[in-house]
Structure 1
């Protein structure tokens, strides 16, 4: 995906919910926003609603299942502390707090039981075990996630965040752990194959994401509607309030898996790698994360996790 924080933030919400995963599990505390819709000077609309969805992805179907999931879960369970990695200092000793926009399946989303699951969660869990830490997911609104990291709300951003030059001016990134393309999702009977087909259309995007940035470069868009999370964007597409949604391909594919009226009918190819965001000052954590990431790629754990969530290794 995703994204960098806007020069002017239309709506700033930080929703925080702490829950321990990996070696432990705790109670969840959640702060949510009141649904709102605002209109920018340019005429674009921004819809925000932390709890506006009637049926969440987690309620429809929780987690990956089958042989791939079983193999990945067994591999994660078998990960142990690396004798080559020194446990880095963190805000809370012994715990790695990861800020995440937890309405972005299959990368991070609610398990319906007060915890979080997804590709990023499994990767972070494995990295934490390599470093001798316990993972704590911190549910955080996307448009405030970088300021929250910089102000020490958590140790790391683990939220399908695209590595961009603009973001690298504010924070450091780990080595890339996922390569992404953008999908154009439409009603099945009204396909749009490429960016040119979006001209004259009402297009939905998640605010401050690579999807938004790609659509902004297309001349002749009728209207761009911005949403706090991708679940809301897909809901409006299904309701006919937009004509297409541009967003990360695996996320859109997951969102529409049980919606036969919608399909990923086109693609926008971008140079888009995901990385974990870390404060510039925290070079110790950056080095440990990169070392742990290298180890789970080398021993096959990464490929098993990828197969669990996407059906294939990258």
Structure 2
């Protein structure tokens, strides 16, 4: 009888642990893309993507476990089950959809080109100057597709690294998403937009593994819920002063 009770107790404990593990949603973000996601000096993950992830978890009544993952490894990490979802301002592209699935978009994006004040660079002449961009992004792909045959395109592991070389004069322009570009220009007064908003019909979604349809639908429902109750707008205005949806 004691053995049976112990066995039942162990089984119940195991089921509770399994249920608890299922309640934790493991989310990856880049941690190097301010103001969307960044790591503070104290090692804390902060930013729009991080707060949206937390809001979605709260709406789904699941615990969030958010980790930083370098951009080049972020899709392989999802595919290899290191985490359950990517909330990292990732553009929904046909190429990426070959490897993973996406939620409905949670904001729309534009590209920008930034250069030093007084630069002779224009959008029409961008192929004649050096262009910096973060590798494996819509910005780098756009630069390569548009100017790749004649431009000096230099790719960086992170967006801040590209802007650092722009600031140091090692590259003449940087192609980046509009909102982080605007944030950088605001803090670097000797620089401005060569082109402020380039519409490439870019939609940003949450990445999930192929076949995780239940999770994808739960995330879609949660996106709708935080839009409906105003949580999304509050977070967006906190970071950008507007609703970026």
How many residues were matched structurally? 225
- Separation in structure 1 between the aligned mates of residue 155 and residue 19 of structure 2, nearest angstrom: 34
Give the one of 176, 201, 207 matched to 2:129.
201
What is residue 117 of structure 2 aligned with on the other side? 188
- Separation in structure 2 between the aligned mates of residue 275 and residue 188 of structure 1, nearest angstrom: 34
Question: Contact 1:91/1:152 (CA < 8 Å) preserved in 2?
Answer: no
Question: Contact 2:127/2:152 (CA < 8 Å) preserved in 1?
Answer: no
Q: Which runs of 5+ in 1 are unaligned?
A: 1-88
CA, structure 1 residues 242+234, in 2 after alignment: closer, same or farther (shift >3 Å)? same
**Relative to total residues, which structure has the larger helix share, 1 or 2?**
2
What is residue 241 of structure 2 aligned with on the other side? 311
Question: Contact 1:180/1:274 (CA < 8 Å) preserved in 2?
Answer: yes
RMSD: 1.7
What is residue 280 of structure 1 aligned with on the other side? 210
Larger radius of gyration: 2
CA, structure 1 residues 169+90, in 2 after alignment: closer, same or farther (shift >3 Å)? farther
- Separation in structure 2 between the aligned mates of residue 301 and residue 224 of structure 1, nearest angstrom: 39
- Separation in structure 1 between the aligned mates of residue 226 and residue 117 of structure 2, nearest angstrom: 39
What secondary structure, in the 3-state scheme, does the structure 1 residue paired with 2:186 have?
Answer: coil
What is residue 129 of structure 1 aligned with on the other side? 58
State the 1:295 CA deviation: 0.5
Displaced runs of 4 or more, over 6 A: none
CA, structure 1 residues 285+205, in 2 after alignment: closer, same or farther (shift >3 Å)? same
- Separation in structure 1 between the aligned mates of residue 234 and residue 99 of structure 2, nearest angstrom: 32
TM-score by length of 1: 0.68
What is residue 163 of structure 1 aligned with on the other side? 92
Matched, 1:210 2:138: yes
Matched, 1:299 2:235: no
TM-score by length of 2: 0.87
What is residue 54 of structure 1 aligned with on the other side? none
